[in-house]
Amino acid sequence: MTKAAKSTASPAVEQQLPASYEVALQELEQLVSRMESGQMPLADMLQSYQRGAFLLEHCRSRLQAVEAQIQVLEAGSLKNWSGGQAE
């Protein structure tokens, strides 16, 4: 194997945090769309996969944090949703 054939990708690239959950979700959706198109070079596909995994974990952790905050606000007694019907 020649030096040119070796991968130059760094396995531990520091990822930039998205500005918000919504920005992260939008970027993740765009990455998935580009990857599913099949038009990406392999090296770009790997970087996109790594970024996507990072964004997915970020979104999951934000959702878990918000869920915990809601449970605290509701004092652990979440109420059933009435479906928007007036009582």
Which residues form the domain of 27?
18-73
Domain assignment present for 83: no
Q: What is the 3 state secondary structure string of 9-21?
A: CCCCCCCCCCCCH
Q: What is the mean pLDDT of residues 21-50?
A: 93
What is the structure's pLDDT at 85? 57
What is the structure's pLDDT at 8? 43
Domain assignment present for 78: no
Domain assignment present for 8: no
Domain assignment present for 54: yes
User: What is the DSSP track for 12-80?
Assistant: TPPPPPPSSHHHHHHHHHHHHHHHHHT-S-HHHHHHHHHHHHHHHHHHHHHHHHHHHHHHHHTTT-PPP
pLDDT at 80 over 60: yes
Domain assignment present for 56: yes
Considering the chain, what percentage of its residues have pLDDT values greater than 70?
70
Q: Whole-model pTM?
A: 0.67
Domain assignment present for 22: yes
Q: Into how many domains does the chain fold?
A: 1
CATH of the domain at 48: 1.10.287.1040
